Structure 1
Amino acid sequence: MNNSTKVITGFVVGALAGALTGLLLAPESGPDTRKRITRESEKLKDSLSETIAEILDSARNKYNAMLDEYTEAGKKTANKIKQSAKINS
C-alpha cells in the first residue's frame, strides 16, 4: 500500500469515526438521530465510493504503465536476440 492510499484510507476511517461519535453524542430525538445517521451514512458511502474509484484508477494507470514498459523491454530483447542470431548464422 503506497503512502497516498494510506492517507486516503486514514482520512476515510477518521471521518467515519468522527461522524459516528458526533451522532452518538448528539442530544437529538430518536427519529432525528436516525435521519441524521442515514444522511451521514449516504455522505460516507459516496465519499468511500469516490476514494475507491480513485485508488482503482491509480492502480489501473500504474498497471498500464508497467505493462507498456515491460512490453517495450520485451521487444528490445527480442530484437537483440534476432540480431545475435543473424550474426551467428
Structure 2
Amino acid sequence: MKDPKNLIGGFIAGAALGIAAGMLLAPDSGQRTRKKIVDGSIKLKDDLMNTVDTSLDNIRRQFNSKIDQLARAGKQNIDEASEKVKA
C-alpha cells in the first residue's frame, strides 16, 4: 500500500493544478479569474489544514495510547520485581 503522506500530497498537488488550470483556461475576465484562483487557494488551504489537524489528532491519540501502554508495562514490571524481592 502507498504511503498515506505521499497519497495526500499527490491529491493536494493534483487538486491545486486542476483548479489553477481550469481557472486559467476559463473564458472569464482577468479580475474574475484572479478571484477564482484566490478563492480556490483559500479552499485548498482550509482542506489542507483540516487534513493536517485530523492527522495530528490521530498521531496524538496513538502517542498517548503507547505512553499509557508503556506506563502500565513499567508498573507491572516494578510490581513483579517488588514481589520477588519480598519473597
Partner AA of 2:14 in structure 1 = G
1:51 maps to 51
- Tell me, which stretches of 5 or more residues in structure 1 are unaligned? none
2:24 maps to 24
Identity %: 38
Which of the pair has the greater relative contact order for Cα pairs under 8 Å at 6+ separation? 1
Q: TM (normalized to structure 1)? A: 0.83
Please tell me whether the aligned partners of residues 12 and 48 of structure 1 are also in contact (alpha carbons under 8 angstroms). Answer: yes
SS state at 1:47 partner: helix
Partner AA of 2:7 in structure 1 = V
Deviation at 1:41, TM superposition (A): 0.7
Residue deviations 1:24-52 (CA, integer Å, cap 9, x gap): 33232211111111110111011011001
Compare 2-11 and 29-38 and name the one that shifted more: 2-11
Deviation at 1:84, TM superposition (A): 1.1
Number of residues of Structure 1 aligned to a counterpart in Structure 2: 86
Residue deviations 1:15-72 (CA, integer Å, cap 9, x gap): 1222122223323221111111111011101101100100100100100110111011
Matching of residue 34 in structure 1 with residue 38 in structure 2? no
